[in-house]
Amino acid sequence: MVLRSSSGRRLPSTEDGRSARSSGASQPSGLPPAPPSSSHPAAEPLVLGTWTADSDAGAWGQALPAAAWRTVLGEATVTLRIQGGPAEVWSARAGRGRLLASGVAELALPLSVDGPDWFWVEGPADSVTWSVEGGVELPPVTVIMPTRLREGDAVAQAQRFARMGIVQRVLVIDQGGTLEDLPAFTRLRREHPKIELITQPNLGGSGGYARGMLEASEDPGAALLLSDDDAVLSEESLRRMLTYQALAARPTILGTPLFSSARPTQLLAHTERVDARAFQWRSADRMRGAVDLAGTTPADWDAVISAGPANYTGWWGTLLPPGTVTELGLPAPLFLKWDDAEYGLRATAHGYDHAVLPGTAVHHPPWNAYRTQMTWTARILHRNRLAIAAAYGAGRGVIASSLLHQLKHVLAGHLLTAELWEEGVDAMRAGPEAWLGSDLQRARADGDLVVQAWHRGNDLPGALTPTRSTALPLPVGVARAVARMLRPEGPPRTIISLHADDVHWRTTLGADAVVVTDGTGGVEVAFAVRGTAMRRMLRRVLRSHLGLARSWRSLRRRYGAALPRRTTDGSWAALFDAVSDATATERN
């Protein structure tokens, strides 16, 4: 029998069914025997994934996500080979596990349309290999890794990639100017000629990735891996992603499941999409927050099953197929945040698919809301969200979403976040001519000025005595927040102390002052929530969003026209030349 993958590739197959081969193996009745041996030498199988007991990948890296591979292989037959044991082979569909065989060394598993979502092995196996008959040519990989003032991370990450046989080039975009004269990095480049260093001023993630894409364009046949300098991806994960991508019928951009490097079994995000109405990131699977996989099996992993198509992947670890940049162009010059989402939307409009392959993983330091929303990044994040929404013709739902969140920020006393968002709204309303592609070198500084000014006017001594360390009941919190907005100023009565990871609009609602602590219990910051500042911010929010709604049609037209012009090779090359000339002038 000959099967074809969804891409039309011819996949020779064994008999359609399960077969087992082992000395003394036991298996449920009804499984067909192993197919007869052939006198012809067997072709080298196409390996979908390998796992060894000494790896740290756990069950996540060992299991085969059958539903995902079926997307590109069609109804092929996967061969499972187990070394060591005795082990059991399990399958799961819709959260229900089923024992298929025990004590086997080899088993043929069909990827039928109504078949399992997962296959996995339990027991003392030394190694597990999943493969199919047939083959596919894998392109080389060029890694693009921007970095800034994180020398230890940059050296370790470049070394990891340089040691991978499937990686042909590692482009390190240093935007802090500290690696060229760093002895450890100099030694690393001497040992691994595939590492190339490009130094430029800080143009944010989008500027770093754009520079790397331009440098990589001399080899359009390579797949491009876009990676953070502190996102750890194994060679096995990269090989699986590359194989899946090569088998796909349509050009497919591969993302990676995001795990916490602080808690390695905690899955933070899987498949995501940009919601068209509110124009915000949303889960495209069934995950609703982080999930700890410790002590679980694939029968417990229904949350990662897709609930709809993805339309972007996060650039903590994204693999672009060969030729993508030639067809789609370079990132939008947004400094950081939303450049990956915009590129995904652009790719979707050009017929690209997006996928995140279970079993692969990136481990990355986790983010928290406090450090994202109460630092300079919040201004850029919100400006970019509104700008990209306008460029892609979003309706006024994004304005309603922004207004709703701003009202929550005001009520919760997150007036720094509200201030940063309003600065972002003002920048966006000024139009693309005022900033898109021209503010990259000052984007961070502009946000820092807002943060510093706010802290000067609102910080309190860290010696405050908290009155509670948990959130107020919701009705009480709302009532106190409204009362705080209306009554005259006075000394803080409700002082809530929270770890930075727990700071959220709901947890600070009703506070007169907030004390934010770090992992050691020390005070990071303490700030006042003043009624006069709340009223002033509320008026500003209402005015800005009314103006945004009135000018939305014009803004959509202006951003829709400007964005394609700012993502070309020529536009970015001119920007890089201008920055280089300015830097040379400053040195002279």
Q: Report the half-sphere exposure of 435 (CA within 13 A, side-chain side).
A: 21
CB 412: neighbour CB atoms within 10 A?
25
Res. 588 pLDDT band, cuts 50 70 90: low
Cα distance between residue 196 and residue 125, in whole Å: 40
Q: What is the pLDDT of residues 62-117, one digit of tens each?
A: 999 999 999 999 999 999 999 997 999 999 999 999 999 999 999 999 999 999 99
Same domain, 69 and 95: yes
Q: Flag whether 549 is in a domain.
A: no
Alpha-helix residue ranges (DSSP H) falling in 168-271:
183-191, 204-216, 235-247
Instruction: Give the C-alpha distances (Å, rounded to integers) separating 273 from 205, 241, 283, 332, 353.
Output: 20, 19, 6, 18, 12
The one-character DSSP state at 453 is: H
Q: What is the pLDDT of residue 23?
A: 36
Same domain, 304 and 396: no
Q: What is the pLDDT of residues 384-403, one digit of tens each?
A: 999 999 999 999 999 999 99
Q: What is the pLDDT of residue 586?
A: 72
Q: What is the pLDDT of residue 462?
A: 74
Query: Which residues make Cβ contacts (< 8 Å) with residue 28, sequence separation at least 6?
Result: 99, 100, 101
**How many domains is the chain built from?**
3
Q: What is the pLDDT of residue 308?
A: 84
The one-character DSSP state at 31 is: P
Q: Is pLDDT of 138 > 70?
A: yes
Whether a cis peptide bond, with omega within 30° of 0, leads into 473 is no
Mean pLDDT of 350-359: 97
Same domain, 256 and 351: yes
Q: Flag whether 566 is in a domain.
A: no
Give Rg (Cα) of the chain: 27
Query: Which residues make Cβ contacts (< 8 Å) with residue 205, sequence separation at least 6?
Result: 146, 315, 335, 336, 339
Q: What is the pLDDT of residue 41?
A: 52
Q: Is pLDDT of 28 > 70?
A: no
Query: Which residues make Cβ contacts (< 8 Å) with residue 488, sequence separation at least 6?
Result: 531
The closest of 378, 350, 385, 384 to 279, measured between CA atoms, is: 385
Q: Is pLDDT of 24 > 70?
A: no
Q: What is the pLDDT of residue 463?
A: 80
The one-character DSSP state at 300 is: G
Q: Is pLDDT of 362 > 70?
A: yes
Strand order in the sheet with 523-528: 495-499, 513-517, 523-528
Mean pLDDT over each residue of the chain, to the nearest integer = 91
Mean pLDDT of 367-375: 85
Mean pLDDT of 411-427: 98
Q: Flag whether 111 is in a domain.
A: yes
Same domain, 362 and 431: no
Q: Which amino acid is at 82?
A: I
Q: Flag whether 546 is in a domain.
A: no
Same domain, 269 and 397: no
Q: Which of 366, 391, 411 is the last residue of a domain?
A: 366
Q: What is the pLDDT of residue 85?
A: 79
Q: Flag whether 103 is in a domain.
A: yes
Give CA angle at 580 (577, 586), nearest 5°.
140
Q: Which of 350, 366, 382 is the last residue of a domain?
A: 366
Q: Flag whether 339 is in a domain.
A: yes
Q: Which of 344, 366, 388 is the last residue of a domain?
A: 366
Q: Looking at 17-21, 33-37, 62-66, 364-368, which range is the least confident one? A: 17-21
Q: What is the pLDDT of residue 422?
A: 98
Same domain, 273 and 387: no
Quote the domain boundaries for residue 521.
370-535
Q: Flag whether 29 is in a domain.
A: yes
Q: Is pLDDT of 15 > 70?
A: no
Q: What is the pLDDT of residue 546?
A: 98
Q: What is the pLDDT of residue 43?
A: 67
Q: Is 96 exposed, middle or buried (0-12, 13-18, 19+ CB in 10 A)?
A: exposed
Same domain, 434 and 398: yes
The closest of 243, 232, 249, 307 to 275, measured between CA atoms, is: 307
Same domain, 401 and 524: yes
Q: Flag whether 569 is in a domain.
A: no
Res. 42 pLDDT band, cuts 50 70 90: low
Res. 454 pLDDT band, cuts 50 70 90: very high
Same domain, 237 and 294: yes
Q: Is pLDDT of 5 > 50?
A: no
Q: Is pLDDT of 9 > 50?
A: no
Instruction: Quote the pTM value.
Output: 0.90
Same domain, 213 and 244: yes
Q: What is the pLDDT of residue 415?
A: 97
The CATH number for 218's domain is 3.90.550.60
Mean pLDDT of 266-284: 94
Same domain, 98 and 245: no
Res. 370 pLDDT band, cuts 50 70 90: confident
**What single string gives the DSSP state of each residue in 368-429?**
-HHHHHSSTHHHHHHHHHHHHHHHTT--THHHHHHHHHHHHHHHHT-HHHHHHHHHHHHHHH
Same domain, 361 and 286: yes
